[in-house]
Amino acid sequence: MELLKSLLDFLLHLDRYLDTWANDYGVLLYAILFLIVFTETGLIVMPLLPGDSLLFAAGALAARETNDLSVWVIMPLLIVAALMGDNVNYFVGKNLGNQIKMRERILFFKREYIFETEKFYEKHGGKTVIMARFIPIVRTIAPFVAGAGSMNYGTYIRYCILGAILWVVSITLLGYFFGNFDIVKKNFELVVFGIIGLSVMPMLVQFVKVRLRRATA
């Protein structure tokens, strides 16, 4: 319970944490940001780390003159972190995919998840990889399932690179240009919930469409 409280506090007050770390560690904050993004995208058991809000807060922090952080360092660094994490996740999934298909489940992955995801990838193609990048939790699971499924690595990595660039650049620059407005700084918790809400909206819309389709079938 204490761990969840600490994680929630970290998520809702990322701006304060990053500001404190920037003052305490200086440019070492680059390494901290890299590790957080890599862990969220690369370790299948760590899907609850704050990817979107972290990028937004990092962009806002880089815009302030009170530290030496540069948004032009943050963006390529975190693109690399996201790509490295995705590749680790993809190849772990590739190595465990056959085991999952032969068993009913491994950890929280059921065999049916792999087959359903394969169908989804076949229907929507590589753009699914880009869409998944913007959805919390899904962006952690998607590379693993892509590796465990039948998606060719050449196809996967092309869309993976494009998705990482779009994700990091768009949200970081959003924070850079708007994160230091007083109304944003005073209501950062609401901004976090707003970012999360916008991120999960496509998934909710898809879920509703599937349920309606099944109800009318």
Tell me the C-alpha to C-alpha distance, in Å, between residue 217 and each of 43, 51, 205, 206, 210.
38, 38, 18, 16, 10
The pLDDT of 161-173, averaged and rounded, is 93
**Using one digit for the tens of pLDDT, what is the confidence trace for 132-158?**
888 777 788 888 888 877 678 888 899
**Would you give the end-to-end CA distance of the chain in angstroms?**
43
Which residue is listed with tokens 């957080």?
Answer: 36
**Using one digit for the tens of pLDDT, what is the confidence trace for 108-132?**
556 666 666 666 677 766 777 888 8
* SS3 call for 109: strand
| CA separation for the pair 205, 116 (Å, rounded) | 18
- Please tell me the least confidently modeled range out of 35-44, 53-62, 70-79, 102-111: 102-111
Return the pLDDT at 128: 79
The pLDDT of 84-104, averaged and rounded, is 79
Would you say the C-alpha torsion 20, 25, 31, 32 has a positive or negative sign?
negative
Residue 10 one-letter amino acid? F
DSSP-assigned letter for residue 68: -
pLDDT tier at 172, thresholds 50, 70, 90: very high
pLDDT tier at 82, thresholds 50, 70, 90: very high
Quick one: residue 135, left, alpha or beta (phi over 0 = left, psi -120 to 50 = alpha)? beta
> The tokens of 151 are what?
């998606």
The pLDDT of 34-53, averaged and rounded, is 81
The pLDDT of 24-51, averaged and rounded, is 84
**Using one digit for the tens of pLDDT, what is the confidence trace for 100-109?**
666 665 555 5
> The tokens of 176 are what?
């850079």
The pLDDT of 47-61, averaged and rounded, is 82
pLDDT at residue 207 greater than cutoff 70: no
| CA separation for the pair 152, 149 (Å, rounded) | 9
Residues ≥6 apart with Cβ < 8 Å to 121: 128, 146, 149, 150, 151
Asked if residues 51 and 85 have their Cβ atoms less than 8 Å apart, the reply is no
User: ∠ CA 128-156-91 to the nearest 5 degrees?
Assistant: 115
Tell me the C-alpha to C-alpha distance, in Å, between residue 156 and each of 80, 91, 98, 184, 215.
16, 12, 19, 36, 33
Residue 27 one-letter amino acid? V
